[in-house]
Amino acid sequence: MPIALSDLLSEKHVIPAVRSRKAPNAIREIIQLLADNGKIARPDEFLEQVLAREQAHPSLVENGVVFPHARTDLVSEIVVGLGRSLPGIPFGQAKDRAHLIFVIGVPERLVNDYLVCIGTLVRLIRNDATRSDLMRAETPRQVIDLLVGAIGE
């Protein structure tokens, strides 16, 4: 059965105001939140994998949104963490500012489900109203409610 994006989203995995001002530190902050909530057993190794992928193939910032990720056996299910930065954090070679940072961990065996997940997220964030609403949300619960509502699952 295909995975529903709404099943992957949790307010426990949202940082409404990322403290970090540099991309690697922001990714670390989101990964640590996922680890603190039992989603990643070895966060330092996962961080290394995400950063290695970013070094080899930098994630593109589109509409202020970026999706750093890793395909790895360090997670047993797809995990999604979201950090928001109102001022934005420079990402990639162009140093475009990302305001919404979705860190995703994908088990090797679930690559097809990952493609569905990322496709849905990309479709959502292309909507100007959805992005604006996400930037104005005051709590992690509101962020998740907005995403799930926009998905329509």
The reported pLDDT for the residue numbered 80 is: 95
Please state the rounded mean pLDDT for residues 13-30.
96
Residue type, position 11, single letter: E
Name the amino acid, one letter, at 118: I
Q: Could you give the C-alpha distances from 30 to 34, 96, 132, 141, in angstroms and in order? A: 6, 19, 21, 16
**Greater pLDDT, 116 or 30:** 30
HSE of 150, CA atoms in CB hemisphere, 13 A: 23
Bridge partners, 102 (sequence order): 82
What is the per-residue pLDDT for 3?
A: 63
Within a 10 A sphere around the Cβ of 57, how many other Cβ atoms?
9
Q: Which residue has the higher pLDDT, 91 or 152?
A: 91
How large is the greatest C-alpha to C-alpha distance in the chain, in angstroms?
39
What are the boundaries of each domain within the chain? 7-151
Task: Give the strand pairing for 14-15 and 79-91.
Answer: parallel
User: What are the residues facing 65 on neighbouring strands?
Assistant: 62, 100
- Please determine, looking at this structure, whether the domain spanning 7-151 carries the CATH number 3.90.1150.10: no
Q: Residue 32: its pLDDT value, please?
A: 98
The tens digit of pLDDT for each residue in 29-85 reads 999 999 999 999 899 999 999 999 999 988 877 889 999 999 999 999 999 999 999
Report residue 54 as tokens: 């970013």
pTM: 0.92
Q: For all residues of the chain together, what is the average pLDDT? A: 90
Q: Per-residue confidence at 1, pLDDT binned at 50, 70, 90?
A: very low
Point out which residues pair with 48 in neighbouring strands. Answer: none
Take residue 131 and report the two structure tokens written for it. Answer: 């992005």
